Structure 1
């Protein structure tokens, strides 16, 4: 029969699986919560249970939804004729923090990877192509990470959308605002040179 310490160790092991938490950080977090059971642990457990029961993937874009579809897809003002394609929900939320994009999104849930057996079907790329056709999309913005896999995925999507007659763009890459050339890697400097513009 498992004792209290075994149950607490089980909780620590579960917490240690979370990104950014190792066994020591998980142990500190659990012990902190145990000392503050009423004020922090009970509300956290209730919030986790509620989100676990209510959250789902938006069937339209792949964002996290608490209803039939996410808030962005449900907002008629976001039907601007633009779709921004991102790798995962964290990227969507990062774009939303900037308050610059007013259209809708499409979350791939990853990037193409032959080694991991992730192909177009697993990423819902056919669903994206159908959305472009059905929603009368004028522009698809590819906001994928500047990795080999991200760029391969971007090229695949661009080619797949050629027949749709839609404008396909990607985010600019290069020197970040406030960045110093001396601290940038060679790839970033090359991308910045290729994307240079007139002043």
Structure 2
């Protein structure tokens, strides 16, 4: 079945959403036009405003409308404790556990030479600068327990190996091959409690 150009464009645009295939996009488009045109207008306005006004925090790279996100602006949090994550979705997952009072650094991806993603694409120079300044007591590497996530954590740990900072990796409870956004809060909290150091001992 062929659709009018505007309707086809809407269906194609909706497929940009994760997990939305042709049929799902078609159902969404028809629902908005047949039953909820006011909702469609509100959705389009919200998307436009977000696309134009939501940028990233200059300190942690999380999504933010301001220069600094609410977490980085919060003086009650431990700014010497930084948790390194792959995405803003992972940050939300950690925040929902209620057990972490430090701050974050969001990579927005992981190292992947095959895809052309290198350290500069993840803002690692900015992270290393913060650690080298001496303001960080502990760096928690909470990248996803995938091959790429593990490689990214290992790279960060190796680059900071000689600095006087405790480098830990979340461990127990998070399944290998899983992603943080799909891990329940209790499991994630246990993973943080069981994190381990990645720095070599002086005897090694």
Trace 1:81-160 onto structure 2 (pairs within 5 A). 81-134=80-133, 136-160=135-159
Cα deviations by residue, 1:40-83 (Å, 9 ceiling, x for unpaired)? 11221221122112100112111000111211111122244100
Higher alpha-carbon Rg:
1
Q: 1:37 aligned to 2:37?
A: yes
Residue 162 of structure 1 and its aligned partner are, at CA, apart by 1.5
Q: In angstroms, what is the RMSD of aligned CA positions? A: 1.9
More helix by share: 1
Match of 1:54? 53
| Partner Cα separation in structure 1 for residue 88 and residue 174 of structure 2 | 25
Structure 1 residues 156 and 66: CA distance shift in structure 2, 3 A:
same
| Partner Cα separation in structure 2 for residue 68 and residue 174 of structure 1 | 35
TM-score of the pair, normalised by structure 1? 0.81
Q: 1:27 aligned to 2:30?
A: no
| Partner Cα separation in structure 1 for residue 90 and residue 174 of structure 2 | 19
Trace 1:151-170 onto structure 2 (pairs within 5 A). 151-170=150-169
| Partner Cα separation in structure 2 for residue 131 and residue 46 of structure 1 | 37
Cα deviations by residue, 1:102-132 (Å, 9 ceiling, x for unpaired)? 1110111211112112221221112111112
Residue 135 of structure 1 and its aligned partner are, at CA, apart by 6.1
Structure 1 runs of 4+ aligned residues shifted over 4 Å read none
| Partner Cα separation in structure 1 for residue 56 and residue 72 of structure 2 | 12
- 3-state DSSP of counterpart to 1:115: helix
Cα deviations by residue, 1:134-165 (Å, 9 ceiling, x for unpaired)? 36110000101111111111111111112221
Residue 12 of structure 1 and its aligned partner are, at CA, apart by 0.5
Structure 1 residues 16 and 136: CA distance shift in structure 2, 3 A:
same
| Partner Cα separation in structure 1 for residue 56 and residue 82 of structure 2 | 17
| Partner Cα separation in structure 2 for residue 159 and residue 85 of structure 1 | 15
Match of 2:70? 71
| Partner Cα separation in structure 2 for residue 25 and residue 150 of structure 1 | 31
| Partner Cα separation in structure 2 for residue 96 and residue 135 of structure 1 | 25
**More contact order relative to length (CA 8 Å, sep ≥ 6):** 2
- 3-state DSSP of counterpart to 1:51: helix
